[in-house]
Amino acid sequence: MLSQKNIEIVKSTAPILEARGIDITTVFYKNLFTDHPELLHIFNHSNQKQGRQQTALANAVYAAAQNIDQLHTILPVVKQIGHKHRSLGVRAEHYPIVGEHLLRAIKEVLGDAATDSIISAWADAYGVIADAFIGVEKELYKQARSQKAGFADFKPFIVSKKVKESDVITSFYLEPEDGGDVPEYDAGQYISVRLNIPGETYSHIRQYSLSSAHHPNFFRISVKREGKGTVSAYLHDHLKLGDRLEVSAPAGDFVLNQETTPLVLISGGVGITPMMSMLETAYRNQPSRPVSFIHASRNEAVLPFKGEVKRMIQGHDEGKCSFVYGTLALSEDQLEGDGSDYYVCGPVPFMKAVIERLKHLGVPVDRIHYEFFGPGLDLAGV
């Protein structure tokens, strides 16, 4: 329990830490990886190099600290990050390490301005925030383990099929090496894939949405080639049938609801992947639920799954689909009636534009479901 005094200190100093965010984060990661190089197996070191992910973790701590006396209000976001942490293999014992390095970095950057009472208030606050995450993650590990065919850590899988879906997207079918089944999952969830690339010291972990409904004996992911020297390029160019990689159990809370309301699935680019799982799942389990599938791609060459979507839509009692090349300009007649659910996934600018447009067209916010791809936004921004 935090004292009122410490709550006040933390709340009043959070904006100062946020303003020095980049400096603190840079020092934090540098020291963290010097003292604990083994954590480079978990963190995305390409993102570190590009600096994109740099501030997400620390910003989330500051944002949580500003809500320290009402942490329950940010619980949905803690859960969302908790899913990601669980899928990466983050453990309770990692929290004190991160906490210690964050405090050290704050002290190093702020110097004398970071008085003992400020540091001690932040240590208390970090402890409370970490406990909230640890509690959520413990529950998620338990759920993953207790499910039929479930597992809590990474497990070896074999590539059983590789299908080129477009000029830039290839699907990989992954089967458990032990010949067992894969656990059930909700449409929209993702898995983490851990790869050891020959010649590289640290493993790489990446998240990919599952791009089909649940099938008992395989996971399907569909990966966009991002550029030379990236993990996705390695998957496209080097990973072949029979190769082994490690996979963690499905995670994520951007999932298809079970209601019977009309469903509008809107995606841009590789954001189509969770929508494929949602479409197939709705097609299989809720054949009379109206579904409208709307997708925007740069051009036909990079567009995957057109045939697969059309086949499913034709088999659906009330289905329709439209494919757009270039910018998506949603019109009123593409909306379904009151109470419809809209699921949106794609690059950040695409999503922002679509969400804005849906709101402008009068769709209630609680009917718009979305997930940002790539490094997550900080707590305050979600």
Query: Which of 90, 210 has the CB closer to ligand HEM?
Result: 90
53 belongs to the binding site for ligand HEM (CB under 6 A): yes
Which listed residue (18, 137, 280, 336) is catalytic? 137
Q: Which of 292, 228, 235, 299 is nearest to 269 (CA)?
A: 299
98 belongs to the binding site for ligand HEM (CB under 6 A): yes
CB of 218 within 8 A of CB of 160? yes
Among 13, 55, 68, 95, binds ligand HEM (CB under 6 A): 95
264 belongs to the binding site for ligand HEM (CB under 6 A): no
94 belongs to the binding site for ligand HEM (CB under 6 A): yes
Among 9, 10, 24, 57, binds ligand HEM (CB under 6 A): 57
Contacts of 52 (CB under 8 A, 6+ apart): 374, 375
CB of 157 within 8 A of CB of 174? yes
DSSP 170: E
84 belongs to the binding site for ligand HEM (CB under 6 A): yes
Q: What is the DSSP string of 320-358?
A: EEEEEES-----GGGS--TT-EEEEEE-HHHHHHHHHHH
Residue 353: what residue type? A
Among the residue ranges 14-22, 78-86, 257-265, 325-333, the one whose residues contact ligand HEM (CB under 6 A): 78-86
130 belongs to the binding site for ligand HEM (CB under 6 A): yes
The CB-of-318 to ligand HEM minimum distance in angstroms stands at 34
Which listed residue (18, 29, 62, 95) is catalytic? 95
375 belongs to the binding site for ligand HEM (CB under 6 A): yes
Q: Where are the alpha helices (DSSP H) in the chain?
A: 4-19, 21-35, 45-50, 56-66, 75-88, 94-110, 116-146, 231-237, 272-285, 306-315, 348-360
Among 10, 13, 85, 105, binds ligand HEM (CB under 6 A): 85
CB of 288 within 8 A of CB of 317? yes
Among 90, 187, 278, 345, binds ligand HEM (CB under 6 A): 90
Residue 332 known to be catalytic = no
C-alpha 313/C-alpha 315 separation (Å) is 5
281 belongs to the binding site for ligand HEM (CB under 6 A): no
Among the residue ranges 38-46, 242-250, 286-294, 343-351, the one whose residues contact ligand HEM (CB under 6 A): 38-46
Would you call 260 exposed, middle or buried from its count of C-beta atoms within 10 A (0-12, 13-18, 19+)?
exposed
Among the residue ranges 18-26, 90-98, 145-153, 222-230, the one whose residues contact ligand HEM (CB under 6 A): 90-98
Query: Residue 199, by phi and psi: left (phi above 0), alpha (psi -120 to 50) or beta?
Result: left
The CB-of-83 to ligand HEM minimum distance in angstroms stands at 9
182 belongs to the binding site for ligand HEM (CB under 6 A): no
CB of 164 within 8 A of CB of 177? no
Among 9, 10, 17, 60, binds ligand HEM (CB under 6 A): 60
Quick one: three-class SS letters along 247-280? ECCCECCCCCCCCCCCEEEEEEHHHHHHHHHHHH
Question: Which single residue brings its beta carbon nearest to ligand HEM?
Answer: 376
Beta-strand pair 368-372/341-346: parallel
Q: Which of 145, 148, 159 is nearest to 181 (CA)?
A: 148
Query: Which of 324, 347 has the CB closer to ligand HEM?
Result: 347
Residue 137 known to be catalytic = yes
138 belongs to the binding site for ligand HEM (CB under 6 A): no
376 belongs to the binding site for ligand HEM (CB under 6 A): yes
133 belongs to the binding site for ligand HEM (CB under 6 A): yes
Contacts with ligand HEM by CB under 6 A lie at 39, 42-44, 47, 53, 56-57, 60-61, 64, 81, 84-85, 88, 90, 94-95, 98, 129-130, 133, 375-376
Known catalytic residues are 95, 137
